[in-house]
Amino acid sequence: MQSLKPVFEPKSIAVIGASREPGKIGNVLVKNLVDSNFPGPVYPVNPSADEVHGLKCFKSVLAIPGKVECAVIAIRAGLVPKALAECGRKGVKGAIVISGGFSEAGEEALENGLVRISRRHGIALIGPNCLGVVNPAAKMDSIFLPTYKMGRPTQGGIAFVTQSGAVGSMVLDVVAREGFGISKFVSYGNAAAIDETDLLRYLMNDRETNIIVLYIEGVKRGREFYDLTKRLAKKKPLVVLKAGVTEKGIAAALSHTASLAGSDAAYRAVFRQNHLIEAKSLDDMFDYAKIFTTQPKCAGDRVAVVTNGGGMGVLAADALEGEGLKLAEFSRETRKALRACMPELVKDENPLDLVGDADASRFSDAIRIASSDPGVDALAVITLFQTASLDSRVVDVIINASARKRKPVINITLGGEYSEMQRRALESSGVPSFSSPTSAARSLAKLVEYSRFTKKA
Amino acid sequence: MQSLKPVFEPKSIAVIGASREPGKIGNVLVKNLVDSNFPGPVYPVNPSADEVHGLKCFKSVLAIPGKVECAVIAIRAGLVPKALAECGRKGVKGAIVISGGFSEAGEEALENGLVRISRRHGIALIGPNCLGVVNPAAKMDSIFLPTYKMGRPTQGGIAFVTQSGAVGSMVLDVVAREGFGISKFVSYGNAAAIDETDLLRYLMNDRETNIIVLYIEGVKRGREFYDLTKRLAKKKPLVVLKAGVTEKGIAAALSHTASLAGSDAAYRAVFRQNHLIEAKSLDDMFDYAKIFTTQPKCAGDRVAVVTNGGGMGVLAADALEGEGLKLAEFSRETRKALRACMPELVKDENPLDLVGDADASRFSDAIRIASSDPGVDALAVITLFQTASLDSRVVDVIINASARKRKPVINITLGGEYSEMQRRALESSGVPSFSSPTSAARSLAKLVEYSRFTKKA
């Protein structure tokens, strides 16, 4: 397999199909590379333009004087083979074909032609019919969507690999808003040459990636996928959302990307056997990504719940038990320490209800005491910011508790603007904050399960 | 039972425990009534203050010259019986006891005393240990939480009834932010006198309420609850979230409110038999509230999906089938009409993938054609605002389609700030917008199920 470095970390880029017309794909592509301060040269290619966004434009990739590592191609499908062959002759080693109109539109022959050209010249070919690549560290951005419509995430540890461009654009936009950083993003579309297994192999060894999230409608090479993910899961958590699960879903997937969705049961079996972390919905996918990228492994399944609202404690107890986790039994020392510093109304029980007038300092005491209990493996801290006594000082308390990284610490916050502000502050400091006990418990259960597996593996 | 009008629509209010000290409960209570422009007189009561927030303060409720319909009581538990008895002598007909320190703290005798006093004087008693009442239409607001920490919803059709104050404050805050209106809100705490069944009976006949949402940890009077909800569900949808489901959850509930949580299976059976709409999580609860309060009944289970992203269509197909709904089969006329106005890449299938360059006018055509198909019972419109061609004009298209109210129309949108803006615009115009196909499908399935029941009933 070709190296994927030229597409993820190119030192120079040609945009084939660069356009002077605002809003056109070939215009936005150049603009985004310029705006993101791509450090190497960007070469617009268009036979009928002199310059695009202040950059000199070339008639073809062959006319570019310097070296070109990666070509982003956004021209009519019928013109792509010629352009790709020229890239080959120029010595371009990575190509991202954004253009649609290939196998997904019944044009298999045209797509097979691309594969042949890329093989002949040793080009790593992403696409066609894709969004391509984002790599914040390398300031690489091949997404043709304007930044005001779709935000770009900061640098972090999550790699997103998605077959669907639509899902991909939505993922980037949500992740940018939530404030979680990514190591790499790739939307690989029809996977004519480079497919999900190739991408996973690259990311398995990528040092900037600590967790991989995969959206697929089907897999190209089942055996290779199985073998690779078996090895990968021992190194890094792999969260997978498989669409095309039901009969109608499979039919829709077929119509959409012409990939064979395959039997749902077979996929499930592979995921389970290889200890992949299966997300059943987009919500799960985001939740799992954020807990795995921020939290340490969990030594066991005993969770302490700290809350300033009794009802939320009850819901959390339900949710944790419902996911097969346990409410930790506080030790005698813990109970004693709690009784020593808590007001009388606070019972030394788990869930630990700090009651409605709890402030940041009561939370601080409670979190310190509960997390020191050897019978506690993880902490779920529920903060109802609606009360008069709880303010943003508790955010620092939770961030500090989490920063020790000995045990997982997660937060549950739900409310209006004020609450949302605190939630964002927590998340941008590496504390995953969930909007409900249900999603928090589900995510924690996945972390516990995967931690158990890696301990054995 | 006493009329509940004095607590939900009082013409005059005494705040017993009014305080001059900013941040104190008795201070915030008066401030919120003043700020919300409560139309009748507000009488602060405090033996040691002359005025609170510019209002003349009285030594006791008996010293107030005019009539008092409702008393909001926030003083130490031990002082409440005397104050309540004075209310009785004054002829006050509604009392909201916010103070805690009663049965939830082991003080059953004190609580029973309140009940006796309220019965003797015919006072409708809410609480103790509660947040009390919000009624936007009457500008009644007994919540002691500052408005900058907890938003207040506008007027609308949802009534929220919650045992837990913590859950209640969070609900109000979320609903205020999401922009859904409420008819009434009541947090009833220990339910010493007025309990959930009394409140449901009142709301069943409340003309401003079109849907009721109930959070309970347990029910005081099982038989009465059963009989009433059987009748109620035929008139209005009743969404119920029952906490204290697992063994640990039940234990936590017991410790928290001293209410008998009872067997989960028994509750489930009642909910199912009486066609209550059970929410399994807070997320479900909000989702169901918004679809039921805005959407008409659904004639069947055949859903058309319109999307500008193929992958999201696949996920929607999975989610709908997973919830037992059907993807509608488009009629020959529908297919013909679609082919006549859609670009070639758009296949005349359901999910209807309008592809990545779809704009508002393509959505408009698609929604018009799909919703005219007699084989379509509901529409799920997925809008990926990340694309360059889709902008806020599509919001009007969807609002107009929804405003016809012939068939349910729901939206699915997920993304960053831009998307979030559009989502809010849709929701504030009565189109429920979901952040994932999964939650949309689950909510639609509940609407279909309840519609089927009311057709038969």
Size of the A and B interface in Cβ pairs below 8 Å: 262
- Measured distance CA(A127)–CA(B11) in Å, rounded: 68
User: CB within 8 A of A233, min separation 6: which ones?
Assistant: A274, A275, A276, A453
CA distance A63 to chain B (A): 31
| Backbone dihedral angles phi then psi of residue A223, each to the nearest 5 degrees | -60, -50
- Is the minimum CB–CB distance between B393 and chain A shorter than 8 Å? no
B171 burial (CB, 10 Å; 0-12 / 13-18 / 19+) is buried
pTM for the whole thing? 0.92
Check if the beta carbon of residue B306 is closer than 8 Å to that of residue B379. yes
* Amino acid B264: pLDDT: 79
Most B CBs within 10 A among A149, A162, A323, hence the mutation to make, goes to A149
Most A CBs within 10 A among B130, B131, B149, hence the mutation to make, goes to B149
- Is the minimum CB–CB distance between B29 and chain A shorter than 8 Å? no
- Measured distance CA(A23)–CA(A34) in Å, rounded: 15
CA distance B407 to chain A (A): 22
The pLDDT-based confidence of B259 (bands split at 50, 70, 90) is: very low
* Amino acid B63: pLDDT: 97
Helix (H, G, I), strand (E, B) or coil at A12: coil
Nearest to B280 by CA among A164, A385, A439, A447: A439
| Neighboring chain B residues of A165 at a CB cutoff of 8 Å | 309, 311, 356
Question: Where is A226: in which H helix or E strand?
Answer: helix A222-235
Q: For A258-341, where are the alpha helices, taking DSSP H only?
A: 264-273, 282-294, 310-322, 332-341
Q: Render pLDDT for A334-346 as a digit per residue (tens, 0 to 9).
A: 999 999 999 998 9
Q: Render pLDDT for A376-420 as a digit per residue (tens, 0 to 9).
A: 999 999 999 999 889 999 999 999 999 887 899 999 999 998 999
Q: For A25-127, where are the alpha helices, taking DSSP H only?
A: 25-35, 80-90, 108-121
* Amino acid B260: pLDDT: 45
* Amino acid A244: pLDDT: 82
Tell me whether strands A70-73 and A55-56 are parallel, antiparallel or unpaired: unpaired
- Is the minimum CB–CB distance between A262 and chain B shorter than 8 Å? no
| Neighboring chain B residues of A384 at a CB cutoff of 8 Å | 166, 169-170
Nearest to A363 by CA among A381, A340, A378: A381
SS (H, E, C) chain B: CCCCHHHHCCCCEEEECCCCCCCCHHHHHHHHHHHCCCCCCEEEECCCCCEECCEECECCHHHCCCCCCEEEECCCHHHHHHHHHHHHHHCCCEEEECCCCCHHHCCHHHHHHHHHHHHHHCCEEECCCCCEEEEHHHCEECCCCCCCCCCCCCEEEEEEEECCHHHHHHHHHHHHHHCCCEEEEEECCCCCCCCHHHHHHHHHCCCCCCEEEEEECCCCCHHHHHHHHHHHHHHCCEEEEECCCCHHHHHHHHHHHCCCCCCHHHHHHHHHHCCCEEECCHHHHHHHHHHHHHCCCCCCCEEEEEECCHHHHHHHHHHHHHCCCEECCCCHHHHHHHHHHCCCCCCCCCCEECCCCCCHHHHHHHHHHHHHCCCCCEEEEECCCCCCCCCCHHHHHHHHHHHCCCCCEEEECCCCHHHHHHHHHHHHCCCCEECCHHHHHHHHHHHHHHHHHHHHC
* Amino acid A26: pLDDT: 95
The amino acid at residue A168 is G
More confident of the two residues B424 and B250: B424
Tokens of B229: 């909800």
Most B CBs within 10 A among A19, A256, A303, hence the mutation to make, goes to A256
* Amino acid B256: pLDDT: 55
| Neighboring chain B residues of A248 at a CB cutoff of 8 Å | 317-318, 320-321, 327
Q: Which of residues 87-106 of A touch B (CB under 8 A)?
A: 100, 105
Q: Render pLDDT for B280-331 as a digit per residue (tens, 0 to 9).
A: 999 999 999 999 999 999 999 999 999 999 999 999 999 999 999 999 999 9
More confident of the two residues A244 and B252: A244
- Is the minimum CB–CB distance between B22 and chain A shorter than 8 Å? no
Nearest by CB: A414 against B170, B320, B439: B170
Q: Render pLDDT for B112-145 as a digit per residue (tens, 0 to 9).
A: 999 999 999 999 999 999 999 999 999 999 999 8
Cα distances (angstroms) measured from residue A454 to each of A213, A231, A299, A318, B303? 18, 12, 11, 27, 43
- Is the minimum CB–CB distance between A174 and chain B shorter than 8 Å? yes
| β-bridge partners, A240 | A214, A278
* Amino acid A254: pLDDT: 57
Nearest by CB: A246 against B144, B318, B356: B318
- Measured distance CA(A190)–CA(A128) in Å, rounded: 6
- Is the minimum CB–CB distance between B246 and chain A shorter than 8 Å? yes
- Measured distance CA(A271)–CA(A265) in Å, rounded: 10
Nearest by CB: B314 against A25, A173, A243: A243
Q: Render pLDDT for B376-398 as a digit per residue (tens, 0 to 9).
A: 999 999 999 999 899 999 999 99
Q: Which of residues 405-424 of A touch B (CB under 8 A)?
A: 414-420
Nearest to B156 by CA among B390, B429, B437: B429
- Measured distance CA(B335)–CA(B342) in Å, rounded: 10
Q: Which of residues 318-377 of B touch A (CB under 8 A)?
A: 318-322, 327, 345, 347, 349, 351, 353, 356
Tokens of B447: 């609407």
Nearest by CB: A243 against B170, B311, B356: B311
The C-alpha angle with vertex B361 and arms to B356 and B362, in degrees rounded to 5, equals: 45
Nearest to B217 by CA among B249, B179, B172, B192: B249
Helix (H, G, I), strand (E, B) or coil at A325: coil
* Amino acid A383: pLDDT: 98
Would the CA dihedral through B332, B333, B335, B340 be positive or negative? positive
- Measured distance CA(A71)–CA(A15) in Å, rounded: 6
Residue owning tokens 């700030």: B417
Check if the beta carbon of residue A259 is closer than 8 Å to that of residue B417. no
Residue A436 and residue B281: Cβ atoms within 8 Å?
yes
* Amino acid A251: pLDDT: 65
Tokens of A309: 């609202």
The amino acid at residue A304 is A
ipTM higher than the 0.85 cut = yes
The pLDDT-based confidence of B252 (bands split at 50, 70, 90) is: low
- Measured distance CA(A365)–CA(A342) in Å, rounded: 8
* Amino acid B231: pLDDT: 97
The C-alpha angle with vertex B144 and arms to B138 and B147, in degrees rounded to 5, equals: 75
User: CB within 8 A of A442, min separation 6: which ones?
Assistant: A284, A287, A319, A323
Tokens of A201: 């192999």
Q: Render pLDDT for B213-225 as a digit per residue (tens, 0 to 9).
A: 999 988 888 889 9
Helix (H, G, I), strand (E, B) or coil at A95: strand
User: CB within 8 A of A77, min separation 6: which ones?
Assistant: A99, A100, A101, A102, A105, A107, A110, A128
Helix (H, G, I), strand (E, B) or coil at A124: strand
- Measured distance CA(A319)–CA(A228) in Å, rounded: 34
Residue B419 and residue A319: Cβ atoms within 8 Å?
no
Average pLDDT over residues B5-19: 97
Nearest residue on chain B to A163, judged by CA atoms? B311
SS (H, E, C) A328-395: CCCCHHHHHHHHHHCCCCCCCCCCEECCCCCCHHHHHHHHHHHHHCCCCCEEEEECCCCCCCCCCHHH
Residue B148 and residue A418: Cβ atoms within 8 Å?
yes
| Neighboring chain B residues of A356 at a CB cutoff of 8 Å | 100, 165-166
CA distance A246 to chain B (A): 5
| Neighboring chain B residues of A311 at a CB cutoff of 8 Å | 162-168, 215, 217, 243, 256
Q: Which domains does chain B have, with CATH numbers?
A: 5-292 (3.40.50.261), 297-456 (3.40.50.261)
Q: What is the pLDDT along chain A (457 residues), one digit of tens a residue?
A: 679 999 999 999 999 999 999 888 999 999 999 999 999 999 999 999 999 999 999 999 999 999 999 999 999 999 999 999 999 999 999 999 999 999 988 999 999 999 999 999 999 999 999 999 999 999 999 999 988 888 999 999 999 999 999 999 999 999 998 888 999 999 999 999 999 999 999 999 999 999 999 999 888 888 899 999 999 999 999 999 999 877 666 666 655 554 444 677 888 888 999 999 999 999 999 999 999 999 999 999 999 999 999 999 999 999 999 999 999 999 999 999 999 999 998 999 999 999 989 999 999 999 999 999 999 999 999 999 999 889 999 999 999 999 887 899 999 999 998 999 999 999 989 999 999 999 999 999 999 999 999 987 6
Check if the beta carbon of residue A386 is closer than 8 Å to that of residue B145. yes
Nearest residue on chain A to B391, judged by CA atoms? A149
* Amino acid A33: pLDDT: 95
Tokens of B163: 């045992």
* Amino acid B251: pLDDT: 65
Residue B345 and residue A165: Cβ atoms within 8 Å?
no
Check if the beta carbon of residue A326 is closer than 8 Å to that of residue A377. no
- Measured distance CA(B29)–CA(B73) in Å, rounded: 10
Helix (H, G, I), strand (E, B) or coil at A314: helix
Nearest by CB: A170 against B164, B313, B386: B386
